[in-house]
Structure 1
Amino acid sequence: MKKKLLLGIVSLLMATSVTAGTAEGDFQDYIVELKNEAREIGISEPILERAFKDIAFKEKAVKSDRNQPEKKLTLDEYIPRAVPKWKIKQANDLYQKHYKELTRIGNEYAVQPRFIVALWGVESNFGKLTGGYNVIEALTTLAYDGRREEFFKKQTMAALTILQQGHITPENMKGSWAGAMGQCQFMPTSFLAYAVDGNDDGRKDIWTTEADVFASAANYLKQVGWDDTYTWGRQVQLPESLDAESLKGLSEEKSKTLAQWQELGVRRLTGKALPDVDIEAWLVQPDDKDGRAYLVYNNYQVLMDWNRSHYFALAVSHLADSIK
């Protein structure tokens, strides 16, 4: 019996080893195909050689993609964790430290600097948590995995284009398991669309140059439709009689003026009347009918374009409101 069990274990290990070896071999064949596609869009041989040097299938990236957290916190649980007191203090300290540069960039792109700092804080803890994955390795692994092949192939080609343009070296192109890069965690296609050179040194360095990080974040917001003449929205009280389920949502037909929401009985969190401002607003209630309710403006929609998560947008918004 023991002998059979031992033989079974050995056979399983051998089969696993063969499967892994086959998978790695197939992955390297896939890399050859990607290189050919990259050549067609003008990526040079030296860049390809450096970018794909020692690239291997990154199982950890696949596991991270497949095993994203399922437990959902309520906003009452999430916001204090995402925007703790120490982060609020650090955000204010950094806002003051970079005030001159942030003001210049804010004026240039018509974006309030506090939102730039808030995005910086939520995305990467002010540049401290940017990810240690080789971006090309992570992206090619996820493309090969096949669940979202076209998306990750597109990101791989965009990442190679960034290398070709000379903004970062292959060795220093680090990011998250999903390929989000730098202190503002841009995906490669977002980098190509929105990254800018904030200090006029000829490179768009969102990894180590704060001026580029700030300007790139501001440019993203501006290009997507940010309006610095107003804010993002506010938490509100809803009357018990309001049919929030049928009214909430971010689609165009769900918008109402603040005056219309006022008529429906919606009030500020303090119970006071809503601002007397002619502006369109949407009702969002990310948890359920007993959870937090917000009236949000178009700037909130812009934050949702950055990351399609109410929790992300609200974390950024609450942090921005805490920066003075």
Structure 2
Amino acid sequence: MKLTQIAVIVVSSLLLSCTSTVSGNAQTKTQTVKTAPVAKVPALQKAQTASVSALPAQDALNKGSFEQYAASLKQQALDKGYSKTLVNEVFASLKHYKSAVVADKKQPEFTETLDTYLPKRVSKQRIALARKYYKEHQQELESIGQKYGVQPRFIVALWGLESSFGKFMGNYSVPSALATMAYDGRRESFFKSEFFLALDILQQGHVSLADMKGSWAGAMGQSQFMPSAFMSYAQDGDGDGHINIWQSRTDAFASIANYLKTRGWDNSQTWGREVKVPNNFDFSYVIPKGSKDRTQWLQWWAKSERSLAAWQSLGVRTTEGKALPKRDIKAALVMPDDEQGRVYLAYSNYQTLMHWNRSYYFVTSVGYLADLIVAEDKA
């Protein structure tokens, strides 16, 4: 997921993001952005783009043909001890996806702000479906929420935004997509590692090769986990002995909840709130944008974070102009669109969501949808 570098694939008017948290973290979504005159923002809309060459990168040319590269991977798989039957099955199916290479290199031409992004990402249709599924699966969600200490509305929000409630999970063979990205992509070592983790998942019998589908970058299932995220966080929610985030909604729910719990979720708080700042506000209190990695972003967070009482004394108010809640919690200040855009007080759970996908736009969409599901507004 790089504050302003989180790449997504637009698959429909619902703007489904398919590349999961994959930048060294267990699950890294990436979202491509372009510098706007005022702010760096994700550009998830369908845009007029310059034609993109599908020719292999120079690094790929240096590796020989894809078939030669696949043969090398096959030998490495055998040397690592994977069963010959599995290796033969996977490599007999392996194919090079030119469309994945194009998607990885594609750069949007236009930009947008939260005011244009949110209505598309959190559309009326998506809100209605989120509320519907929240009610339909409430008993199951409450049970999982209590087990992991995560409010069910956030499980549903992530489920809806990642795979449109399990309807759009990607149709690329995950091993082929990962092999393609290792061969043609910019991060061979990362995708090569993910490829072998995908083999681990297959060898453990969690899913069949035919059903192991995902995005062009290898994000899988209803939770859109990369293989590394699957190995770290995925759960057997329904207790059948397999972790199937493709076909088991319960497994997907439990996996999402376990990810949040493991990354420090606090179910006594929400994610944040939109606020107003006074005309003479000192914007040096805001977390800067453009961090090179999560470590730097957390350092900037620490400089911004202070108590709600402190923000109150600095003139920060709710969007209705009322006083902030009198709770003993801390928050940092986030402005995705700089001084001309919306302002948010971000609580500790915001950090967890930024681990899932280090994009202010993505995190805002998750929190916004989660709030709308139950129409709550609390600190």
Q: Same fold (TM over 0.5)?
A: yes
- For 1:246 and 1:106, the matched residues in 2 are separated by 34
1:188 aligns with 2:236: no
Indicate the residue corresponding to 2:170 in structure 1: 131
Match of 1:160 among 196, 199, 206: 199
- For 1:322 and 1:234, the matched residues in 2 are separated by 13
Deviation at 1:69, TM superposition (A): 2.7
Residues 283 and 293 in structure 1, CA contact (< 8 A), matched pair in contact too: yes
Match of 1:75 among 114, 130, 134: 114
- For 1:49 and 1:72, the matched residues in 2 are separated by 45
- For 1:95 and 1:218, the matched residues in 2 are separated by 15
Match of 1:299 among 337, 345, 349: 349
1:257 aligns with 2:257: no
- Deviation string 1:185-231 (CA, Å, 9 cap, x unpaired) is 00110000000000000110000100000000000000000000110
Indicate the residue corresponding to 1:59 in structure 2: 98
Number of matched residues?
305
Residues 51 and 171 in structure 1, CA contact (< 8 A), matched pair in contact too: no
Deviation at 1:267, TM superposition (A): 0.5
Indicate the residue corresponding to 1:43 in structure 2: 82
Indicate the residue corresponding to 1:143 in structure 2: 182
- For 2:345 and 2:131, the matched residues in 1 are separated by 25
Indicate the residue corresponding to 1:286 in structure 2: 336
1:309 aligns with 2:359: yes
Distance 1:51 1:308, change over 3 A: same
- Deviation string 1:168-198 (CA, Å, 9 cap, x unpaired) is 1111110000100001100110000000000
- For 1:126 and 1:322, the matched residues in 2 are separated by 16
- For 1:160 and 1:245, the matched residues in 2 are separated by 47
| 30-39 vs 137-146, greater mean Cα deviation | 30-39
Match of 1:230 among 266, 269, 274: 269
1:118 aligns with 2:157: yes
State the secondary structure of the residue aligned to 2:99.
Answer: helix
Taking every aligned residue pair, what percent have the same amino acid on both sides?
Answer: 51
- For 2:107 and 2:162, the matched residues in 1 are separated by 17
Residues 286 and 335 in structure 2, CA contact (< 8 A), matched pair in contact too: no
Distance 1:159 1:89, change over 3 A: same
* Partner AA of 1:298 in structure 2: S
- For 1:225 and 1:200, the matched residues in 2 are separated by 24
- For 1:314 and 1:146, the matched residues in 2 are separated by 29
State the secondary structure of the residue aligned to 1:56.
Answer: coil
* Partner AA of 1:237 in structure 2: K
State the secondary structure of the residue aligned to 2:345.
Answer: strand
* Partner AA of 1:313 in structure 2: V
Residues 104 and 185 in structure 2, CA contact (< 8 A), matched pair in contact too: no
Indicate the residue corresponding to 2:130 in structure 1: 91
1:320 aligns with 2:370: yes
- For 1:74 and 1:290, the matched residues in 2 are separated by 10
Distance 1:62 1:163, change over 3 A: same
1:206 aligns with 2:256: no
* Partner AA of 2:130 in structure 1: A
Distance 1:110 1:187, change over 3 A: same
* Partner AA of 2:320 in structure 1: T
Deviation at 1:144, TM superposition (A): 0.5
- For 1:58 and 1:85, the matched residues in 2 are separated by 34
Deviation at 1:33, TM superposition (A): 1.7
* Partner AA of 1:95 in structure 2: Y
Indicate the residue corresponding to 1:247 in structure 2: 286
Q: Over aligned residue pairs, what C-alpha RMSD do you find?
A: 1.8
State the secondary structure of the residue aligned to 2:332.
Answer: strand
Higher Rg: 1
Indicate the residue corresponding to 1:178 in structure 2: 217
| 48-57 vs 258-267, greater mean Cα deviation | 48-57
* Partner AA of 2:171 in structure 1: G
Query: Which one has the bigger helix percentage?
Result: 1
Residues 194 and 219 in structure 1, CA contact (< 8 A), matched pair in contact too: yes
- Deviation string 1:211-262 (CA, Å, 9 cap, x unpaired) is 0000000000000000001100100001111122453345222211111111
Distance 1:203 1:70, change over 3 A: farther
Structure 2 gap ranges (5+): 1-54, 56-60, 289-299, 375-379
State the secondary structure of the residue aligned to 1:208.
Answer: coil
Deviation at 1:122, TM superposition (A): 0.5
Match of 1:29 among 54, 68, 72: 68
User: Structure 2-normalised TM-score?
Assistant: 0.78
Identify the structure with bigger relative contact order (alpha carbons < 8 Å, sequence gap 6+): 2
